[in-house]
Structure 1
């Protein structure tokens, strides 16, 4: 028998229930699925840390938009996926998200290189079942929207690294630029430079932080 240890992270319990039901109904006869779930970064982090010491996950499903951890260090499924790569290098990492902008997709692939990448609007229960079996044996599996983006030879320089994402997150939490240094180990001039780059990157013409946050949300960076 093949025992498969699974983590599913999504902030909507009903979506997780749908994923669980699909996998349980379509698993192979020789597969035993042990599924654990989390709805936020804190719970997911606890499960991941415990699993890394006891019984590592075989496959982890992460939604991108999640409630941040209480210490602010984990702000999304992207952060959880990157941490999983560090502490459980053999675990398959699958991203499930509503974000379907080309630059966001490319950003996630550059940052995480997931074993599976599914856009929720593409997904049916049969595709999830197919993707699951495919990822277990011959990853990667990308849904149609992701595959189409990758086939197009577009020039995508929109790449937001960890520090820039943290700046965006802190600004979105109401932290003023002048106090960002308390949260990020950079000089004020380096922070200002990054903010300018972000505004150029996200086509913020009026120069306002509010517009920067609005554009970052629209493009899926928050």
Structure 2
């Protein structure tokens, strides 16, 4: 049995209830979900600090627009996501937001690099259910608005930055993914995540490295 500990933070209780109902109804038979909820930054911070000491959350869902903390230290879901990264490095971070301006999406991907990024207007029960399972097994999972933004910004320095270019070059030289971390200061899972993002960027539907390299060559990245 897989026990999955979840924190959901949104200032609309009915939205949290909706998320809970969808995840509980669509979870796999061998999954047990333990869901904590918070409606503001102060409650969320207290829950994360407590959890980090003993049983960190497996997944945290953060709405971006939230009542800030009383001390002014945390003003949004972005601030909470950064705190979660610090307190619980292995926790999967999911951003859910109404915001769909490209500037906001750009900042969230750049600052937080979330394991899941869902624009609420894209969201159906099925997409939330599928996204949740993918985030658990092989993140990242981005909803359609985020994906189309990423595709549009293909030349942007965040995505094809120096590390991603180097990953492409090493793969082109025949270096295997499991050996790539010998060339970087980042973990194998971080390299895998970057490869997945590159495949989203280059619209690689078969998931193969060879197809990724072919596309990268055609677009002048190799």
2:106 paired residue number:
106
1:4 corresponds in structure 2 to 4
What SS does the aligned partner of 2:93 have? strand
Give 1:156-195 correspondences, 5 Å limit. none
1:51-109 deviation digits (Å, cap 9, x = unpaired): 00021000000000000000000000000000000010000000000000111101100
* Whole-angstrom distance in 1 between the partners of 2:138 and 2:61: 16
Whether 2:89 is the aligned partner of 1:89: answer: yes
Q: Contact 1:64/1:78 (CA < 8 Å) preserved in 2?
A: yes
Cα distance between partner residues in 2 of 1:116 and 1:154: 19
Match of 2:22 in 1: 22
Question: Could you give the per-residue CA deviations for residues 162-198 of structure 1, whole angstroms, max 9, x where no partner exists?
Answer: xxxxxxxxxxxxxxxxxxxxxxxxxxxxxxxxxxxxx
2 CA distance for matches of 1:155 and 1:31? 40
> Alignment length, in residue pairs?
157
Residue aligning to 2:128: 128
RMSD over aligned Cα atoms: 1.2
Whole-angstrom CA distance in 1 between matches of 2:36 and 2:154: 38
Please give the alpha-carbon distance, in whole angstroms, between the structure 1 residues aligned to 2:54 and 2:13.
Answer: 25
Query: Given that residues 10 and 39 in structure 1 are in contact (C-alpha distance below 8 angstroms), is that contact kept between their aligned partners in structure 2?
Result: yes
Q: Partner of 2:49: helix, strand, or coil?
A: helix
Higher relative contact order (CA 8 A, sep 6+): 1
1:149 equivalent to 2:143? Answer no
The aligned runs of 1:29-48 (5 Å cut-off) are 29-48=29-48
TM-score normalised to the size of structure 1? Answer: 0.69
Q: Which residue of 2 aligns with 1:190?
A: none
Question: Deviation of residue 154 (structure 1)?
Answer: 6.7
SS of structure 2 residue aligned to 1:8: strand
With the length of structure 2 as denominator, give the TM-score of the two structures.
0.69
What is the match of residue 71 of structure 1? 71
**Structure 1 residue runs of 4 or more that deviate by more than 6 Å after TM superposition:** 154-157
The gaps in structure 1 that reach 5 residues or longer are 158-222
CA contact (8 A) 1:6 1:33 kept: yes
